C-alpha cells in the first residue's frame, strides 16, 4: 500500500512538474515570439493582369495587396452604432439599471447615473413600431443616420492616419418582412452606397461586417437580438446566403446594368458574421465553420474578386486550415479584449495568444478586427507596433461613442460628453438621464437624432474628435509620429 501511495504521489508530482515546465516554456517561447518575430511579407508583388475593369485588394500568402500590387496593411477603426445600435454607445435607453428597491444601481458623486439596461436593435425597433407610424420611423432613422455619419467623419479618420473602416451592419438594413420570409428592401443599398461613396472620396477602404444576422449568432447586445437561433436554422442560413449574394452582386455588377461596380475597389472585404459563437460558449468551432463556408460559397458564386473575412473568436486556434474548405482570397479575423488587464498583464495575455498562433499560423492575412487597451496609452502604442511587427492588420473599436459624464472614453475616437449631472438630494424622477425610447415624444426623438454630428470646428456638433484627454486619439498620434520618424 505504501509503495502504491508513493507511486501515486510521485506520479502526481511529475505531472505537476511537467505541466509547470511546459507552461513556463510556452510563456517564454511566446514572449520570444512576440518580441523577435519579424513579418517578412514583400512590399510589392506582380499582380496577374486579367484584363478586366474591376480590380480590388487581394490576399496573397499572409498579406494583402492593392490594385497596383503594393503591400496594404490594415490600420483602421470600426464605425459602430451607425447601422446597428448598441445601447451603451448611444444616446438612447430603455431606462437605467435599478436595484430591487427601485433605486439606481450606480450613481457617482456628481449624481450621474452610469448604468443602463441593455437595449438590443430588435427591441428598439419594436418599441418604435408600437409608438410611431412607418413614415415617422423612416424620418427618425434618416435623421439619425445622416447626422451621425457626415463627410467630416471621413476627414477625421483619414487625417489621423488610418486607411480602413470596418462597418458593422444588420440584416434588416437590407431585408424586410418576418424572419421566416425575408425579402430584399427596395432601398437596400441606399445608405451603404452613400457611406462607400464618402469613403472612396477620402481614399478609405471599407470592410462590410455583418454584425447582426437573422436569428442571432451570439445573444450579445451587439448582435441585435437576445436569440441564438441562426446556426442551426436552415431558413435563416439560406436567407443570409441570399443576402450576401445580393450584396456581392450589387458591387460587382457594372453601373450600366444597375450595379455599383464603381465602388468595388473601396470594399476591402466581406466580413461574413461578427463574433461567431454562442453566448457563454468558448469560441468558434466546426458548427460555425460549416455555416460560414456556405456564406463563402454564396458570395463566390457571383464574385471571385473580393477578399472574404472569416472570423474566429476568441483565439487564433478558432479557425481551421483554409485548405479544409478550399477557401481562397480570405482574411482571417480575431478580436482581442484583455478584460482582466488590471491583474493579467498584457504581455502574458498576448504571449498566450501568440503561442496558439505558432500552431495555427496558416498562410493567410490576419486582422485584429476589434480591440481596446482602455486607459493605458503606452499599451496602445506598444501593441499597435506588436500587431504591425507580427503582420496583423487592426481596426480598433470604435469611432463614436457617448459618455454620460464629462469624461472621455477609450472606446471612442469621437466622444459626446453628455454630462448628465444631478442634485443627489432630489428625487430620482427629476434626474436627467439618457433619452428613453418608451416615453420620449416623436418631436423629442427627432430633435435628438437630428443632432448627432461630429464637431467640425465651424458648425459645431455634439461629438468631439481627438479631444485633449482622448487616450485613444493621443495614442494614435504618438504611434503615427513614430512611424513617420522611422521612415525619415
Q: Is the dihedral of CA 11, 12, 18, 19 positive or negative?
A: positive
H-run or E-run covering 20: helix 2-36
CA distance to 168, 205, 344, 471, per residue, from 484 (Å): 30, 21, 32, 20
The predicted structure's pLDDT at residue 28 = 56
The predicted structure's pLDDT at residue 407 = 95
The predicted structure's pLDDT at residue 23 = 53
Helix/strand/coil percent split, the chain, to 5:
40, 15, 40
Instruction: Pinpoint the alpha helices (H) of 98-219.
Output: 121-131, 134-148, 151-159, 190-201
- Does the predicted TM-score (pTM) go above 0.85? yes
The predicted structure's pLDDT at residue 27 = 56
In sequence order, the 6+-apart residues with CB closer than 8 A to the CB of 83 are 167, 168, 169, 170, 173, 191, 192, 211
Q: Report strand pairing: 400-403 vs 414-417.
A: parallel
Class of residue 359 by CB neighbours under 10 A (exposed 0-12, middle 13-18, buried 19+)? exposed
Cell of 483: 512611424
The predicted structure's pLDDT at residue 30 = 60
Residue 226: CA count within 13 A, CB half-sphere: 4
Structural domains of the chain in order of their starting residue, each with its CATH number: 37-487 (3.20.20.80)
pLDDT in tens, the chain (488 residues): 454 444 544 444 444 443 444 455 555 556 656 667 778 899 999 988 766 788 999 999 999 999 999 999 999 999 999 999 999 999 999 999 999 999 999 999 999 999 999 999 999 999 999 999 999 999 999 999 999 999 999 999 999 999 999 999 999 999 999 999 999 999 999 999 999 999 999 999 999 999 999 999 999 999 999 999 999 999 999 999 999 999 999 999 999 999 999 999 999 999 999 999 999 888 899 999 999 999 999 999 999 999 999 999 999 999 999 999 999 999 999 999 999 998 999 999 999 999 999 899 999 999 999 999 999 999 999 999 999 999 999 999 999 999 999 999 999 999 999 999 999 999 999 999 999 999 999 999 999 999 999 998 888 899 999 999 999 999 999 999 999 998 87
Amino acid at each position: 500500500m505504501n509503495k502504491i501511495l508513493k507511486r501515486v504521489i510521485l506520479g502526481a508530482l511529475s505531472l505537476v512538474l511537467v505541466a509547470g515546465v511546459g507552461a513556463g516554456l510556452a510563456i517564454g517561447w511566446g514572449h520570444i515570439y512576440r518580441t523577435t518575430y519579424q513579418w517578412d511579407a514583400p512590399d510589392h508583388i506582380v499582380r496577374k493582369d486579367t484584363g478586366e475593369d474591376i480590380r480590388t485588394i487581394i490576399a496573397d500568402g499572409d498579406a494583402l495587396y492593392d490594385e497596383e500590387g503594393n503591400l496594404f496593411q490594415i490600420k483602421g477603426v470600426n464605425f459602430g452604432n451607425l447601422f446597428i445600435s448598441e445601447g451603451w454607445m448611444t444616446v438612447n435607453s430603455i431606462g437605467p439599471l435599478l436595484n430591487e428597491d427601485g433605486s439606481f444601481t450606480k450613481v457617482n458623486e456628481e449624481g450621474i447615473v452610469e448604468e443602463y439596461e441593455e437595449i438590443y436593435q430588435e427591441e428598439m425597433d419594436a418599441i418604435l413600431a408600437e409608438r410611431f407610424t412607418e413614415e415617422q420611423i423612416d424620418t427618425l432613422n434618416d435623421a439619425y443616420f445622416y447626422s451621425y455619419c457626415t463627410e467630416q467623419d471621413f476627414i477625421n479618420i483619414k487625417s489621423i492616419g488610418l486607411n480602413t473602416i470596418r462597418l458593422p451592419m444588420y440584416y434588416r438594413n437590407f431585408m424586410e418582412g418576418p424572419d421566416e420570409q425575408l425579402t430584399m428592401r427596395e432601398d437596400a443599398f441606399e445608405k451603404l452606397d452613400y457611406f462607400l461613396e464618402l469613403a472612396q472620396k477620402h481614399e478609405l477602404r471599407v470592410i462590410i461586417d455583418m454584425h447582426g444576422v437573422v436569428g442571432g449568432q451570439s445573444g450579445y447586445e451587439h448582435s441585435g437580438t437576445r436569440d441564438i437561433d441562426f446556426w442551426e436554422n436552415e431558413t435563416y442560413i439560406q436567407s443570409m446566403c441570399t443576402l450576401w449574394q445580393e450584396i456581392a452582386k450589387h458591387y460587382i455588377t457594372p453601373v450600366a446594368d444597375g450595379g455599383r461596380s464603381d465602388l468595388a475597389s473601396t470594399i476591402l472585404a466581406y466580413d461574413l458574421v461578427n463574433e461567431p459563437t454562442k453566448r457563454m460558449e468558448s469560441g468558434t468551432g466546426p458548427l460555425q465553420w460549416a455555416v460560414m463556408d456556405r456564406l463563402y460559397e454564396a458570395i463566390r458564386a457571383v464574385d471571385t474578386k473580393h477578399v472574404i473575412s472569416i472570423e474566429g473568436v476568441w483565439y487564433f486556434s478558432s479557425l481551421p486550415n483554409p485548405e479544409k474548405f478550399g477557401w481562397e482570397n480570405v482574411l482571417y479575423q480575431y478580436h482581442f479584449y484583455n478584460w482582466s488587464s488590471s491583474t493579467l498583464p498584457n504581455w502574458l495575455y498576448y504571449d498566450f495568444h501568440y503561442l496558439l498562433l505558432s500552431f495555427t499560423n496558416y498562410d493567410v492575412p490576419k486582422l485584429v478586427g476589434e480591440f481596446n487597451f482602455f486607459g493605458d496609452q503606452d499599451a496602445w502604442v506598444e501593441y499597435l507596433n506588436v500587431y504591425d511587427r507580427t503582420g496583423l492588420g487592426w481596426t480598433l473599436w470604435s469611432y463614436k461613442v457617448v459618455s454620460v459624464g464629462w469624461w472621455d472614453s477609450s472606446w471612442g475616437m469621437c466622444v459626446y460628453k453628455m454630462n448628465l449631472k444631478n442634485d443627489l438630494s432630489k428625487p430620482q424622477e427629476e434626474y436627467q438621464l439618457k433619452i428613453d425610447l418608451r416615453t420620449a415624444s416623436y418631436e423629442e426623438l427627432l430633435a435628438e437624432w437630428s443632432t448627432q454630428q461630429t464637431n467640425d470646428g465651424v458648425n459645431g456638433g455634439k461629438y468631439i474628435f481627438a479631444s485633449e484627454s482622448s487616450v485613444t486619439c493621443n495614442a494614435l498620434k504618438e504611434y503615427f509620429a513614430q512611424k513617420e520618424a522611422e521612415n525619415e
